[in-house]
Chains A and B, each alone.
Chain A
Amino acid sequence: MSSTNLFHIRTEEAPHMAAPISTTGIIGWMRQNLFSSISNTVLTIIGILLAYWLIAPLVQFALIDAVWTGQNRDACLPQDGGHSGACWAYVKAYFPQFIYGRYPSEEVWRVNIVYALFLLLLVPLAIPSAPFKRLNAILFLIVFPIIAYYLLTGLVIGDWVVLPIVETAVWGGLLVTLVIAVTGIVASLPLGIALALGRRSKMPIIRTISIVFIEFWRGVPLITVLFMSSVMLPLFLPEGVTFDKLLRVLIGVTLFSAAYMAEVVRGGLQAIPKGQYEGAMALGLRFWPMMYLIVLPQALKLVIPGIVNTFIGLFKDTTLVLIVGMFDLLGQIQSSFTDPTWSTPSQGHTGYLFAAMVFWCFCFGMSRYSIFMENKLHTGHKR
């Protein structure tokens, strides 16, 4: 007997229907993120207009209207009264100066070797999984500076000129920027560690001296430090002892950044649990072995992002040396504006754009690295 079954029981799953087109894909995303309400839509439109208004002239200047080749200013002069674009031919012509300053061209290979060595040692040091960290660090922090010093300044043993002397007065461009920034950081590291330990010391006089030193250098602007090191330092030394101008600036920069470094390291020291100190003391370690074997390796690893951030700050601040008459990258670019061969209305803009791009690439790269390290180091503590 066949009975009509009033109930319909579905035995297989109904076919999945695609989500409404307005909630998925690009349209859905746009509805949710850009046009969810009237005020949001207005904001989106304002934002797009603002971006267009900022980016379009830049693209026009840097790419579309730009002049890429040429021998002198004639190539870059605005054609029949129109607006002129970036004069990249001028940057190309000046490129060696921007990188090496007025370093003699037949000796430039020495600078190149220093750049290459620097990269060769820095890259494995920066990659957390690369082996031979300790050896690498020793090479980078102790051996490399010595080699670089002789390569850059020259080496004369008795009458035998191994490498001709190159005065620091002819150094310039990116070379000076990197020399000041890297030396400043590398030399300020030990001083900063000592000051940080001093500030956490239980001995009142040592603590007071450390605090006064740190707060003094952190309280004054770098520019006054540079003036001090270039004007006052010669007064502090006995008669006849003179310092190279670059060296004077380096001393000022090192003392200045040591104070900032000390605060960064102190942050790391504070993050080490007390149990580590107590454990080390229970093992019978004295102060320095405890610091060297137990505390500092942990603390310094923690503050790598902080050190990188200090370095970024210092790298940007090296531009200030142009005020005391040295030619870092910005100073070199600034001084190239006086050259009549390339004097065009767009020369200044082009030079500043080039400087901005170089500094931005360095600083942005380093800040990405610092964020990467931060994420890597803080995996355990993240909530």
Chain B
Amino acid sequence: MSVMEQDSAGAPARASLMNDPKVRSIFYQLVLVVAVVALGYFIVSNTITNLERQNIASGWGFLENTAGFGTNQSLVEYSETSSYGRALYVGFLNTLLVAAVGIFFATLLGFIIGIARLSNNWVINRLAYCYVELVRNIPLLLQIFFWYFAVLRAIPGKREKWSIFDTFHLNIGGMRLPKPIWEPGSEWVGYALIIGIIASYFVSRWARKRQENTGQQFPVFWSAMGLIVGIPIITYFVTGMPMTLEHPNFVESGPILRQGFELNVGINVIPEFLALTAALSIYTASFIAEIVRAGIQAVSHGQTEAAHALGLRNGPTLRLVIIPQAMRVIIPPLTSQYLNLTKNSSLAVAIAYPDLVSMGGTVLNQTGQAIEIIGIWMAVYLSLSLITSAFMNWYNQRMALVER
């Protein structure tokens, strides 16, 4: 007691420097910084010595050298004489392509399965449940192998084909589609599309304003569809149909080696792409389905009842009350699933689909520039994920409940 009385009477007790939280925190942080810097120095100096010993010149110069290997899918001009940098660029574009197509199908399938999971129909409900539990508990790599080595082996060989409407063809060489050939004048169709999009934006703005003022509704969706689809179609016919389709050419007679699809006619979707897209979208769809289900279930039943009490029918209730609230729950995990899909597309290397990791792996084997290649990989995927999380933060801020 006496100690305390003394303290309160005199100047505030000075704790020893060691017990001052501020000093301690600065000390700990200094220790951590020193440890991190020391570790960094250790790694960098070792790496430099090791590289010197192995005669590997570090640096980005190798990106200019001739690659000397080809690829079976590239979205831009690429040949064996292109540079390593070009090869990596081709791989990057292929990653984006498989990710975009995979995301599209995964979303479609995921929403269907997720809604089916909530169906009152017992058969549909159970089927969706089995799909989710079966697919998400099997490793993705195994599924990729399954589609590539098991399923795609069962389709016709090079000299045969399966066709749908005589337009889409499938055989072991991949899928063949008609290729649109754009002739001069077709750029007007593109401009028309842009005009349609801009016009429909203004229509929807005008319609919203009118509804706020007068309460009258305007069929925004159908008019926008009309503008976006209609204007380009009209332009297409007005400009004299400046586009033709180049159908794949299937040679059925002649020498046996010449039979099959003619090279470079039509679009060829390589089997690696098909297998990878199928596996990625089916796998990710099972996660998206669960997200969708949880999102819809998160909207309390009182919302539906209140909407019905206000006189809304089932359709508008779903569209105007349930889905906007469910989307707020769905979008953040959904974007992280999209990101997962993009990162998982790196498994392409297992079936030699020429994505960023696969192309980079070839470059790595040829040049031995491990640090640079792995650095490029990590930088690309990291920036993709940082962009995604930046978008997510923006979205969360926009969508956050505005409370009183």
By a beta-carbon cutoff of 8 Å, the part of chain A in contact with chain B is 33-34, 36, 40, 43-44, 47-48, 50-51, 202-206, 209, 215-216, 218-224, 227-228, 231-232, 234-239, 312, 316-317, 319-320, 322-323, 330, 334, 348-349, 352, 355-356, 359-360, 363-364, 367
Contacts and interface: CB of A to CB of B under 8 A. Distances in A.
Given A232-B371, A235-B371, A221 B343 contact: yes
A47 B349 contact: no
B121 A34 contact: yes
Given A43-B124, A220-B381, A349-B150, A232 B370 contact: yes
B33 A224 contact: no
Nearest to B349: A323
13 contacts: A47-B127, A50-B127, A203-B28, A220-B377, A223-B347, A231-B370, A235-B371, A236-B46, A236-B47, A316-B137, A352-B146, A356-B146, A367-B133
Contact of B139 (A48, A51, A235, A359): A359
A330 B144 CA distance: 12
Given A205-B33, A228-B374, A236-B43, A320 B121 contact: no
Given A47-B124, A221-B344, A235-B50, A359 B364 contact: no
A238 B46 CA distance: 5
Contacts of A367: 133, 137
B145 A220 contact: no
B51 interface: yes
B123 A218 contact: no
A43 B377 CA distance: 46
A195 B386 CA distance: 19
A317 B139 contact: yes
Which of A220, A237, A239, A330 is the most central at the interface, judged by chain B CB atoms within 10 Å of its CB?
A220
Contact of A316 (B43, B139, B357, B374): B139
Given A43-B123, A221-B343, A364 B381 contact: no
A218 B344 CA distance: 12
B55 interface: no
Interface string B139-153: 111100110011001
B346 A221 contact: yes
Contacts of A232: 370-371, 374
Interface string B15-39: 0000000000100110011001000
Nearest to B376: A224
Contacts of B120: 33, 36, 40
A356 B46 contact: no
B209 to A, nearest CB: 38
A138 B361 CA distance: 42
A203 B25 contact: yes
A44 B121 contact: yes
Contacts of A334: 145
Given A33-B122, A206-B28, A224 B145 contact: no
Instruction: Name the 10 nearest CB pairs between A and B, nearest first.
Output: A363-B137, A47-B123, A219-B385, A221-B343, A316-B139, A205-B29, A219-B382, A221-B346, A33-B122, A319-B141
B49 interface: yes
A319 B32 CA distance: 35
A47 B123 CA distance: 6
A215 B374 CA distance: 17
A221 B382 contact: no
A352 B150 contact: yes
**How large, as a class, is the contact surface on chain B?**
35 or more
Contacts of B42: 236
Contacts of B149: 348, 352
A231 B56 CA distance: 14
B28 A360 contact: no
Nearest to B49: A239
B49 A205 contact: no
Contacts of B386: 215, 219
Contacts of A34: 121-123
B134 interface: yes
B53 interface: yes
Nearest to A47: B123
Given A33-B122, A216-B378, A330-B145, 9 more contacts: A34-B122, A43-B121, A47-B127, A209-B36, A221-B344, A235-B371, A236-B46, A238-B46, A316-B138
Interface string B380-404: 0110111000000000000000000
B119 interface: yes
B251 interface: no
Contacts of B350: 322-323
Contacts of B53: 239
Contacts of B124: 43-44, 47
B352 to A, nearest CB: 11
A3 to B, nearest CB: 55
Contacts of B133: 364, 367
A330 B150 contact: no
A42 B378 CA distance: 49
A359 B141 contact: no
Contacts of B28: 203, 206
